[in-house]
Chains A and B, each alone.
Chain A
């Protein structure tokens, strides 16, 4: 798998380089970096920093999608965990706040995993429940207000820096390495792919598919919780209505751009994170170019379509389309 990585990731790396080049044309200062107060500043760092929530979400999402599932609730889980972190921040220490928020994410993931693995629900439906109810729960926690806090520990988590890099970026990098070490350093990744490839065959071959599915949803919940805490720490407050809104779609998009098939069976963590960075580089580029941010959605739509068509098993140049059309007409 790792040996194949460079070849598989070529399209994504090229795409990122092209978008970076376009950004360079649009904004000549794009690659400028400067060190100020022991922290790096610049558009590139900004891309990394802003891309962190989606990158974290995509780390969990990619494993879920590898088992042939999908988790629509990550945005709502972000809102819940951000709300918990924000409401505890000023009265408790950072360890308690983090434990509570990540614990909540774990419970949310456990709930999704229980519905999918034990009750056998379709993943879209099972996670739809929490997607709908989750924002309500988050508002229950914040009592419908935007909860703000001033705890320096939590603020540091969103705005501080380590070795010149913003803390969120370091956390995301750490999570990527941790997840990669756990799933690729052991047979876990293979078992997850087996579950997604053919759950029944894997079950018969002795893979604990239920445990695998439960585990990936729990991990997805924890990643979403971390993203929620960082998003709350970034704006020093929790907005139950808007925190993580539509980010589940960005996370799915990042995974799809990263070449992971929605039909399960294979995945790449690095490429999913690369997908998240591609999305963010586009967003930042559009912002810098002076176009209204509304263009983001149009560009995203075009990118999704292009990636989908390239990935489609039925797509092999225009000859393929023509042949297909002829068959449909017949």
Chain B
């Protein structure tokens, strides 16, 4: 994959898209809109970061949306009905979601099952469990929630960088560092490249698989807490379909779904592109929200076709030179 890295293409699309939107609606190019864009997509950015790890390692995690839903309900009930202090509730749900992810990773590794179907079962399980807890929306009135919601850094131009947007940015940066600078990150790439090769080179494949799914579920748990801050409520049907949005963000961000290549930053840009489409539709006012889905689908296709082309290009010279030597 020489030449333009896919994440750079994503960045160009984002900048071009933003410029095009700003030309039509000059107000889009303000820190207010950008601040809102970050706040509205905070939970998606967090989940997508975890999804990037899973997909780069050659897997997929369909359970994240349900884990978010479960988290919001659990946190709301714990704080409002069971009288647990918010911080304790947060720690409990993070431990719970990490254990959930670890269990899925263990099942995938030990029984050698496709991640797709195992995390599908996880999706049913988490959503079903949140239905069991409560089927109605539980409002959260704890003082922490209003404090966090009110907290914001002022940006020049009147924009507000909210607490949940800051959490998201910290996690994205932390995720990028973890993926690109640590041995754990290198192992994630190695697993995605080839499981067998990675194992032969001394990567503890089982432990890595468990850790990667643990990370994804943990981030989904954090995203759930952020989502509960965003809506000040817990609802078992919240974040339905978020797994698709985050997979789309990862793919638009230039990560190969076959694994082995990709980046957290690209994923973050992918989230911003989806957010930008949504913002444009809001500004336009005449377009319905379902245009978001169509636009996302078209972008998905464009990026996957592009990757397919790049991969084909990267392979071609190798084949030719191999032919020349024989």
Contact = CB atoms under 8 A, between A and B. Distances in A.
Interface string B123-141: 1110111011001000000
B244 A131 contact: yes
A302 B129 CA distance: 12
A133 B300 CA distance: 9
A129 B301 contact: yes
Given A136-B294, A294-B132, A298-B129, A128 B113 contact: no
Interface in B9-30: none
Contacts, number: 127
B131 A314 contact: no
Contacts of B120: 249, 252-253, 304
A191 interface: no
A147 interface: no
Interface in A246-263: 249, 252-253, 256, 262-263
B124 A300 contact: yes
A166 to B, nearest CB: 28
B111 A314 contact: yes
Given A131-B244, A132-B293, A324 B117 contact: no
Contacts of A296: 128
B247 interface: yes
Interface in A117-131: 119-122, 124-126, 128-131
Interface string B236-263: 1000000010011001000001100000
Interface stretch (A137-145, A167-175, A176-184): A137-145
B288 interface: yes
Given A308-B111, A308-B118, A133 B247 contact: no
B110 interface: yes
B158 to A, nearest CB: 33
A139 B296 CA distance: 15
A308 B293 contact: no
B128 A298 contact: yes
Contacts of B118: 308
A132 B248 contact: yes
A135 B129 CA distance: 27
B296 A132 contact: yes
B131 A128 contact: no
A315 B131 CA distance: 31
A185 interface: no
Contacts of B112: 312-314
B283 interface: no
A297 B110 contact: no
B151 interface: no
A305 interface: yes
B128 A294 contact: yes
Interface in B129-180: 129, 131-132, 135
Contacts of A119: 305, 308
Given A132-B300, A304-B121, A309-B111, A125 B290 contact: no
A129 B290 contact: no
Given A128-B300, A129-B297, A304 B257 contact: no
A122 B113 CA distance: 18
A325 interface: yes
A297 B290 contact: no
B121 A125 contact: no
A292 interface: yes
Nearest to A120: B308
Contacts of B5: none
Contacts of B207: 328
Given A312-B113, A325-B110, A328-B110, A125 B251 contact: yes
Interface string B275-313: 000000000000010111110111011001100100000
B114 interface: yes
A119 to B, nearest CB: 6
A305 B128 CA distance: 14
Contacts of B123: 249
Contacts of A252: 117, 120
A301 B121 contact: yes
A174 to B, nearest CB: 30
B121 A305 contact: yes
Contacts of A253: 120
A292 B131 CA distance: 9
A300 B126 CA distance: 12
A26 interface: no
A328 B206 contact: yes
Contacts of B125: 297-298, 301-302
A133 B113 contact: no
11 contacts: A128-B300, A139-B293, A144-B290, A252-B120, A253-B120, A294-B135, A297-B127, A297-B131, A308-B113, A314-B110, A328-B110
The 9 A-B pairs with the shortest beta carbon distances in the complex, nearest first, are A133-B297, A297-B128, A294-B131, A136-B293, A298-B128, A301-B124, A136-B294, A301-B125, A139-B290
Given A129-B297, A133-B293, A295-B131, 10 more contacts: A120-B308, A121-B308, A122-B257, A122-B258, A131-B244, A136-B297, A249-B120, A298-B125, A298-B129, A312-B112
Interface of B: 60, 107, 109-114, 116-118, 120-125, 127-129, 131-132, 135, 206-207, 236, 244, 247-248, 251, 257-258, 288, 290-294, 296-298, 300-301, 304-305, 308
